[in-house]
A and B are shown apart, each in its own frame.
Chain A
């Protein structure tokens, strides 16, 4: 008896691996190998910066050099991404809630409207903001004619009567570009909630606020978690918004990695910086998963 279970298990395992092999091969080829190569370069030196030769030398100094040289960009990238993610939750959650519970017959239309901007390239949309918010654009024109630039300057929305070239503009751009990635997962998790649970709460004389806190919020947390990952990770690595909407004081880590590769040909430093960036994100995600108690990741 025990013997048969054993063989069937073994058989099962074999076919499982068989089924997994394309995925495993894919991962090895396109994840493990590039990562190993990246790590090897991160630990190498480049004796002549103009020649394409690297010497593997366990050069851990590349990592500390990268951190000390680019600490402000690292803070900035994660800071901007964190603020943008929080803003995305603040904007996205109520919207997803409305879509899931209140939109009624308008639901598909409104959901479609959330998606529509994605039919245009991310870059075009960001460049469009540049025009809308630019010194010659309609917003500044309106503010100037309404003599409101003093007020917006005071509120820190503008600086020197200009929207662009500020951290606020970069964070605004990140929020705008990633908010849909927050709305959709939250919407999906809210939409799955069994309406009967809410009826039951009402039957038990619950107040709506408490029902929200005890039922809806916990059940939608996986959506918030997924949305946060989908927003925070690309936002931290993004540098298009910083380049187009920010100024020379808002550069993020992505453009520094690009500079190291293309302009300084310092591949070891670029690889080390990429690794540090990935390590911080991975650590952050694990901590976040534990705090939010999402089973799949914290288990």
Chain B
């Protein structure tokens, strides 16, 4: 599993497990993260499906964390449990065995396969910690399907970045502790666009007809389109959202936008099938720089998101889950994860730790996509909360458009 190195975890792979494995393999063959991880050749990539079954076997540890794929540090051979990795060190220092799964590959699919059928009937799910995206965590909280984190077990909670303390659905962060955060903006290939892009409306520039892709993550795709229209997705009114959907629908019918993907768009960027994509920041960080792909937060703004650790109701190993949360909220431990995944850490002190380490780590400390400057920060918006009815109307229409 660890070999599927498409760093962005969200809606990353097709839902069909066989298809997902194949796409993951194809991706391995075509693209390799350039940071500190050579060593994985064709042979290892072809073994990926076997590893996939191997690492999703429950019972290999006591407490279970279901996370997105390629979302934690690995050793040089691509093993997330190898010596010196976060998982290895956690087990060594706490004595708690962790069963680390990477089966969380889609918020809605996990909700409909696991959360809703089990938690909705008062049963428990296999995982003690999961890392859904913020809006899914908010939904789970609203449904009463989360257990409250015992903060006395998590002294490092104090290292949580302040912005996460005043979420409307979880004031004080008693039910969720963010795992990683990121930005959705534009990724483009200057060789194909022939110019620098700065606007979210460049997605609709007829010059790029047939070479544009958008994300299947509704909030990012619709959010960026709304920003281009001059609407703030944080204060989204259903009418504005439907206007943005009209625009996307028309562009799709005109063959302006040709694909709606999870992070398969990376392959499209690499093969020059796509000139402009709605993209996630960490993905571009992981691309080979020689491709010349650029990521930009549009002048009208970009959307910000985070995936957050929550404890599903009735989790059997709650105390272990809290010990894990405490462990990864130690800035030194969080730094190791940040260095590998290239997303925005929600933990205070990571930047300082990176600067202190020097070398490549210090370079990362100055990466504007990992530590966002104030200028960019002003342009970032979190998609506003939707009522259940609006959410379903909008998601249904969005699915009709994306197919």
Contact = CB atoms under 8 A, between A and B. Distances in A.
Interface of A: 49-53, 69, 73, 121, 123-124, 127, 131, 134-137, 159-160, 162, 164-165, 240, 243, 247-249, 251, 255-256, 258-259, 261-266
In the A-B complex, the 9 residue pairs with the closest CB atoms = A251-B403, A123-B22, A247-B258, A262-B109, A265-B112, A52-B120, A263-B108, A136-B271, A160-B210
Interface of B: 14-16, 18-19, 22-23, 25-26, 106, 108-109, 111-113, 116-117, 120-121, 139, 143, 209-210, 252-253, 255, 257-260, 271-273, 388, 392, 395-396, 399-403
B15 A248 contact: no
A73 B400 CA distance: 10
Given A135-B271, A165-B258, 7 more contacts: A123-B19, A127-B22, A134-B271, A135-B273, A255-B403, A256-B403, A262-B113
Contacts of A249: 252-253, 255, 258, 403
Nearest to B113: A262
B117 A52 contact: yes
A249 B260 CA distance: 10
A165 B210 contact: yes
Which of A50, A160, A165 counts the most B-chain CB atoms under 10 A from its CB?
A50
Nearest to B115: A50
Contacts of B271: 131, 134-137
A137 B106 CA distance: 31
B395 A162 contact: no
A247 B116 contact: no
A259 B257 contact: no
A69 B396 CA distance: 11
Nearest to B116: A52
Given A135-B272, A165-B210, A248-B259, A240 B252 contact: no
B123 to A, nearest CB: 10
Contacts of B18: 121, 123
Contact of B403 (A123, A248, A265): A248
22 contacts: A50-B139, A51-B120, A52-B116, A53-B120, A69-B400, A73-B403, A121-B22, A124-B26, A131-B271, A135-B271, A136-B272, A159-B210, A162-B273, A165-B210, A165-B255, A240-B16, A240-B19, A247-B255, A249-B255, A262-B15, A264-B395, A265-B112
Contact of B210 (A51, A162, A258, A265): A162
Contacts of A247: 255, 258-259
Contacts of A49: 388, 392
Nearest to B111: A265
Contacts of B113: 262
A124 B22 contact: yes
B112 A261 contact: yes
B209 A160 contact: yes
A248 B106 contact: no
Contact of B273 (A159, A164, A263): A164
Contacts of A52: 116-117, 120-121
Contact of A262 (B106, B139, B259): B106
A121 B108 CA distance: 28
B259 A263 contact: no
B399 A248 contact: no
Nearest to A251: B403
A135 B112 CA distance: 37
Nearest to B260: A248
A264 B107 CA distance: 11
A139 to B, nearest CB: 13
A259 B218 CA distance: 13
B258 A248 contact: yes
Contacts of B121: 52
Contacts of B26: 124, 127
A240 B273 CA distance: 19
A52 B255 CA distance: 38
A251 B402 CA distance: 9
B112 A262 contact: yes
A263 B109 contact: yes
A69 B397 CA distance: 10
A265 B259 contact: no
Contacts of A134: 271, 273
A156 B108 CA distance: 38
B25 to A, nearest CB: 8
B116 A263 contact: no
Nearest to B273: A135
A50 B388 CA distance: 9
Contacts of B255: 159, 165, 247, 249
B163 to A, nearest CB: 27
Nearest to A69: B400
A248 to B, nearest CB: 5
A156 to B, nearest CB: 14
A51 B121 CA distance: 8
A243 B22 contact: no
Contacts of B400: 69
Contacts of B403: 73, 248-249, 251, 255-256, 259
A165 B259 contact: yes
A136 to B, nearest CB: 5
Contacts of A160: 209-210
Nearest to B22: A123
Contacts of A251: 403
Nearest to A164: B273
Nearest to A76: B403
Among A134, A262, A266, residue most surrounded by chain B Cβ atoms (within 10 Å): A262
A135 B275 CA distance: 11
Nearest to A261: B112
Given A69-B400, A123-B22, A248 B112 contact: no
Contacts of A263: 108-109, 112, 395, 399
A256 B401 CA distance: 11
Nearest to B401: A248
A215 to B, nearest CB: 44
A49 B116 CA distance: 9
